[in-house]
Structures are given as C-alpha cells and as structure tokens.
Structure 1
C-alpha cells in the first residue's frame, strides 16, 4: 500500500461495505458504529485482537454503511397495514409460505415437535390468507390481518417468542414486504428511476474500483448486493452474505438480474452464513442454486447459530467468530 503524503490516506486502502436488509428507518452513523463494533467483537473471538481497533477506528479499511432504508418509507402511511400495498400481497404471501415450508423442514430434521406444531398452525393461516375466496370476501385488509396473525404465531417459536423488536406479526408484515417492493422494479422517482435502481445507485455510490472491496450484506441487502456487484468493475476479494433469501425459488431467485443466477464476476470468494432460527432464510445453501463466475467462484455456506433472540439481525451474525474470522484474514492479506 502506498502512502499519500498530502491526504494522510493509503492509496491501496481496502474498502469495507456494509449493506443492510429489511427493517425500519436507520441512522447511518449509529448503524456503522454498531456493525463495526459487532464485527470487531467477532474478530476478537476469532483470535485477531490486533485488528479490533483497526475496525472500530476505520484505519484497517475505509468502512461505509450503505443506508437506503429511507427509500422504503411511506410518509403518508397511517399504520402497519397501510404500509402493505394490495399489489405487494401475492409475493408477500408467497414469501411467508416458502418461509414456513423451510421452517417445517428444519423442525422435522431435528424432530422438534413443538416448533412443528407452531409452524403448521402458522402455515394454515397463511394458506387461508392465500385463498382467493377469503381475499374476495375480506378484502386486502382482511388478508393482511390473517397474514399478520400467522406471523404472530411464528413469533412463538423458541428464540423468537421473547423478542422485543416486534410486538405483533402485523408490524412485521411491511418489513417483509420490502423484498417484494425491491423486486417489483417499480416506484419510479421523478426521473423515472425505479426503487431497485435507486437502491443500487446508493449502494455503489462513492466506491473506488481501483481498490479492493470487502462486502458484508444482510437479508434483502444480499439481493441488492448480488445485483449491484454484477455492475461493479472493481475487485471483491470477499463477499459475505448473512441471512440471505437469494435462493427463494420463484419469489426471489427467478426474479434476479442478471439471469441465470451466478456469482458476480469480480467476486473472488463468497461465504454465506445462516442461523437455524432465522425465519427469513429458506433454501439456505446458495451453492445449489448459483452458477460459478468465470473464475469458478460459487458460494460456500456454513451455519452460524447465535442462539439469541431475533436472529435475523446482522449484528448477531457479525459477532460470530466464523463470520468475522474470514474478514480479518482477508484484511491482513490486502
């Protein structure tokens, strides 16, 4: 790396980009501090204590938190149900259905009968919401109510029932609907740029393709990162995906651009992590669904169980040593 005398920075200084997923409005500085601190804790747990201050003080890498949460905010929304548009319901219900299918499969694998009972009950409620006769009789608000009740049932699962982030499934619905809103490629601004394009533009803004880039993306952010990195022309020594819905069949996988789904060209290593209690992850093993890039890179998936409340949270993943360790190792090589 070459020191630039006047600017006090390193010409080859690595870039570290955090890309968030579903959720409510975020404050960039607060999120950057929390993600960096969690990653530093994970790095220490992985045996790289010498990098902790480098991550928290941003001298090991130029660290940025790509915040696009405000683009999902509807200023005129009156409540949770108002935040779910009628046109978003089919994909949202499909997402819930696929989530419960995967959760049921995981519960069956470990013979968790209590969880399976809860999941089966939730899935019955989702199927009821999907029923066209129900939709016609009760209207969109009735469908939203049924879907919200199903999510409330799912929040009774071990590891989730004491979570304070959401008091009811109805509050969680508009958050989950963000996946569908991104993939709908609609909601143009005054210049005609769709919501998805505006999100990718914000994510890529300010990056320097001449310097190595490490990307850590979470949840919907993994979908955003997939599409953004296909347009990025710089080297990406490491891309980490956390709690990713990328392989969710017709709901996500078949809507990705470009297709067929494959590793972005600049990615040199792709590590994918999932938690067994993460209700947003279905089909966690991305390597079964992604073709390699020209360098032969495909995702490598590993479980990172956090055994904590509300596991679909980036900071819980980042503090895990198997997630943070490869980041530290990569930074030391750059």
Structure 2
C-alpha cells in the first residue's frame, strides 16, 4: 500500500484543488532534485510514490468579497484587532534583522499605525489602524504581487482567517463551528488505515496540529512550514489543547521557517511545545529563500532541507 501524502494550505482566497496539488507536488519535486533524490521526481509528480491529497477548506471562509469586504460579520472588528496584534508582534521580530534602511522605515511606520501613541481608540478606530498599517506593508517589495493582494482590505481579510478559526464561532446548520468544519476537512484527507505524511503551511499548521490530536492513525512525519504558532498573543494561547504539546499520533515533527518570513514570529516551536508521551518534540530549522516575499508554500517546498526528509519518509513508509 502506498503511503498517503497530505498537503494542508494556509490563508488565502478560493483555490483550484487539482492545480494546487500539482503545484505543490512540482515544488516538492524541485526540492527533492536539489536534495539528491532526482530518481524520485517523476514518481512524486505522477503520484506513483504516494497517494497525494490536497486538504482544501478555503471555501468555508466564503468568497473573495466576504474575505475582503467591510465589517459586516459578527466579531469581524475583534478579528481585525487580533490581526493587528499578530502583525505588531511579527513586525517587532522582523525589525531585529531588517534588510535595509528603507525596510526599517516602512516597518516602523506600520508599527506606529498599529500602536499609535496617546490615542484613546474604540474597536472601529482600531480596525482602521490595522487597515492603514496593512496598506503600508503592501509597499514592501514583492508583498502585493506574491501575496496576491490587490489592497489592504483583501490582505487583512485573508489574515483574519486565522482569527476566525481561533474564535471557535460561526455555527452551521449542524451546530458545527467554523474551526470544527475545517478540521473535519483535514481529517477526511488522512489515511485511516495506513501511514500519512502531513505537510502543512501557515494557518494549515495550526489546523493540522489540532486535528492530529484526535486522529488515531499513524503520522510518520509532520512538516510545518511558515507556522504562526509562535505568536504569543494572537495564536499560541488560543490553540487547543493547552498546554501545547506534540500529538500522540506523530512519530517525527520537522518545523521550517525562513528568516525573511514576517508571518512566523517565534519560529523555534520546541521552546514552547511540550513533548508527546513518546518524547517526540518539534525540530526547527531555518531555510533561506530568494525573493522579497518568502511566505508562499512553494518557496518552502522547493528547499532541499524540506523536500529531502519528505521523500525519505515516503520511501521508509513504502518499505514498512
């Protein structure tokens, strides 16, 4: 039996599932080739090496208009303020290793917009400050194009998906909250009776870790890419279960971050995620991609340090 390879995406608008699966597999194949696994490239792309699945849940957030529109959904202002907390923490981290004086100027201006001095502000004015800061960040090279953000409202609307997931609200007709419906999508992609290698990105890392805590199957390898789990205010304390620990189903957890990924925050998960009962801990490693906007999943997957262990885990599971 072939092992299953499940990709779990992060924030963003609607996706073509088949096209996304192909793009992620091709990026992984590029990384595999660079890692010395050229003989496995065709197997990966054609789906011969593993039963590859793309766990898609983006439609549960609504269409593009819902993601970037003005406040109209209950809790939207609070979600926007949580995005502001996330951005402020991320930008403070980024300012410790800026690329240029121009980047420092932009980041400091955005921070000042997120935390204006001497102003008393309500939720509405706070939401406006977040939009202003997002508009400032869109002037960073590459962010607007590679994030596929036409403007600040769309950018904040998509970042707000993290807050919406963690708010545990938005019940459907069955009484399931949005986060539960998202986890159900991911669980449906996992193999109930065989090994599953899980590769997840951004918000998908939060979703996957929470999902795997209740999954009874075997996960030989969990790979997290560009994870926001280290955000001390916006993400980490809102995850479940608390305290954060490695899911018991996971045999090995590799976590990767790029030093230029402003979404990540504190990247070394092993410093605050407790080990599982089998003493498994996350192992974090830095990768360095080219370009100004390094958060996209394809940037990470094309790294040999990421792709190599995934291919090796597939080979090991095939021989098991």
- For normalisation by structure 1, the TM-score amounts to 0.88
How far apart, CA to CA, are the structure 2 residues paired with 1:164 and 1:16?
Answer: 25
Aligned residue among 83, 99, 103 for 2:90: 99
Secondary structure class of the residue paired with 2:228: coil
Whether the 8 Å CA contact 1:125–1:150 is kept in 2: the answer is yes
- Decide which of 218, 227, 230 is 2:210's aligned counterpart: 227
Distance (whole Å) between structure 1 residues aligned to residue 96 and residue 64 of structure 2: 39
Mapped partners of 1:83, 1:114: distance in 2: 36
Task: From the superposition, tell whether residues 164 and 175 of structure 1 become closer, same or farther in structure 2 (CA, over 3 Å).
Answer: closer
TM-superposed deviation, 1:104: 1.5
Kindly indicate whether residue 12 of structure 2 is the aligned counterpart of residue 29 of structure 1.
no
CA shift for structure 1 position 163:
4.1
| In structure 2, C-alpha distance between the alignment counterparts of 1:313 and 1:75, rounded to whole Å | 19
The reply to whether residue 127 of structure 1 matches residue 118 of structure 2 is no
Aligned mates of 1:124, 1:285 — CA distance in 2? 27
User: How far apart in 2 are the matches of 1:100 and 1:202?
Assistant: 32
1:1-334 maps to which residues of 2 (within 5 A)?
Answer: 10=1, 13-73=2-62, 77=66, 79-82=68-71, 85-107=76-98, 112-128=100-116, 133-135=120-122, 140=124, 142-158=125-141, 160=143, 163=146, 165-334=148-317
**C-alpha contact 2:9 2:203 (8 A) present in aligned 1:** yes
The answer for unaligned runs of 5 or more in structure 1 is 1-9
User: CA shift at 1:285, angstroms?
Assistant: 1.0
CA shift at 1:168, angstroms? 2.9
- Measured after TM superposition, the shift of residue 113 of structure 1 is 3.7
> 1 CA distance for matches of 2:96 and 2:266?
10
Worse overlay, 118-127 or 303-312: 303-312
* CA distance in 2: counterparts of 1:78 and 1:51, whole angstroms: 39
Normalised by the length of structure 2, the TM-score is 0.91
Greater CA deviation, 50-59 or 78-87?
A: 78-87
Partner of 1:4: none
* Offset at residue 155 of structure 1 (A): 3.1
How far did 1:158 drift?
4.8
SS in 1 for 2:204: helix
Q: What SS does the corresponding residue of 1:106 show, helix, strand or coil?
A: coil
Structure 2 alignment gaps of length 5 or more = none
Please report how far the alpha carbon of residue 221 of structure 1 lies from its aligned counterpart in structure 2 after TM superposition: 0.2
CA distance in 2, matches of 1:91, 1:131: 20
Cα distance in 2 for partners of 1:254, 1:230 equals 16
Greater length-normalized contact order (CA 8 Å, ≥ 6 residues apart): 2
1:289 and 1:261 map into 2 onto residues whose CA distance is 7
Aligned length, in residue pairs: 315
**Alpha-carbon separation, structure 2, partners of 1:330 and 1:309:** 31
Larger Rg: 1
The offset of 1:80, in angstroms, is 3.4
Contact 1:241–1:271, Cα closer than 8 Å, also in 2:
yes
